[in-house]
Amino acid sequence: MVRRFLAAGLFIFLLHLPVFSDEIENRLQTVSLFGSGENLSFTILMTINSPRGIKERTIEAYMQQDESGSNILLQVIEPVFLRKLKFLQKKDKKGRETIWMAASSGVRRISGQNSGERVFDSDFTVEDFSSVNTDTYSFTELPGEAVSNKTMDVILGDLLKPRGAEITRKKLYIDSETDMLMQVDFFSFRGDLVKRYKVIETQIKNGEPFPRICRMDTFGDKSYTILTVEKIDSETAVPANKFNPGSL
């Protein structure tokens, strides 16, 4: 259970979501209640498809959760010239989140203003990899829907201050059986479907379900990015310096 939540959170990590209903709140709170002391590392193949062509990146992802909070590090391994590209997200036990991006020009913090910045030139943005700010969205539960012959719990998140934002609404689909986040639809202020994240294929590792292939579509740019999780290691401890901004 712990790992399936963590794996889902690697791609669209939703912790401490503000909710109107206690039921939804309790449901989403379980995400943050599990995973204490867990270490996970992934090797991910990122394939970026755009009208300009296809690009591939190999990414190493590290995740850690304990009672003090959670950490996520993504770093490009290939191509070699992008090795300095890194993404670090740290969240303390109160859910306060800090994000750094490293590039050849140095390390910089990412503010809310830059949350739309693309990560590693892909269709995923900083906001997609980070959690939803507790002051940013309000959530309501919708009737369940069937997607790919599976019953999904559906939660609708509306941006509290939508003015000027590109994406103002998110619709989350969660597998009722595995509690894995299977799909997110991103809507503009006009209600147009702007982006879609979807788990295409899952896999079992040590008896726990993980996403294996997932896809993010950006409809306006006619581009999409596919993440293929190639290796999962849940036993090796991740060195503490991986999650320290001073070592980026």
**Binding footprint of another protein on the chain (CB under 8 A):** 52, 55, 77-83, 90, 96, 98, 104-106, 109, 111-114, 116, 118, 121, 164, 166, 221, 237, 239-241, 244-247
DSSP string, 47-87: EEEETTEEEEEEEEEEEEEETTEEEEEEEEEESGGGTT-EE
Q: Which of 213, 145, 232 is nearest to 185 (CA)?
A: 145
- Amino acid, res. 212: R
- Say if residues 184 and 12 touch (Cβ distance below 8 Å): yes
Instruction: For residue 196, count other CB atoms closer than 10 A to its CB.
Output: 17
Q: How far is the CB of 97 from another protein (least distance, A)?
A: 12
Q: How far is the CB of 84 from another protein (least distance, A)?
A: 10
Question: Alpha-carbon torsion 148, 22, 39, 3, what sign?
Answer: negative
If the CB atoms of residues 109 and 231 are measured against another protein, the closer one turns out to be: 109
Q: How far is the CB of 148 from another protein (least distance, A)?
A: 32
Q: How far is the CB of 1 from another protein (least distance, A)?
A: 27
If the CB atoms of residues 115 and 183 are measured against another protein, the closer one turns out to be: 115
If the CB atoms of residues 96 and 150 are measured against another protein, the closer one turns out to be: 96
Q: How far is the CB of 118 from another protein (least distance, A)?
A: 8
If the CB atoms of residues 47 and 247 are measured against another protein, the closer one turns out to be: 247
Dump strand ranges (E) for 164-207: 169-175, 181-187, 193-205
Rg (C-alpha) for the chain, rounded Å, is: 17
If the CB atoms of residues 77 and 156 are measured against another protein, the closer one turns out to be: 77
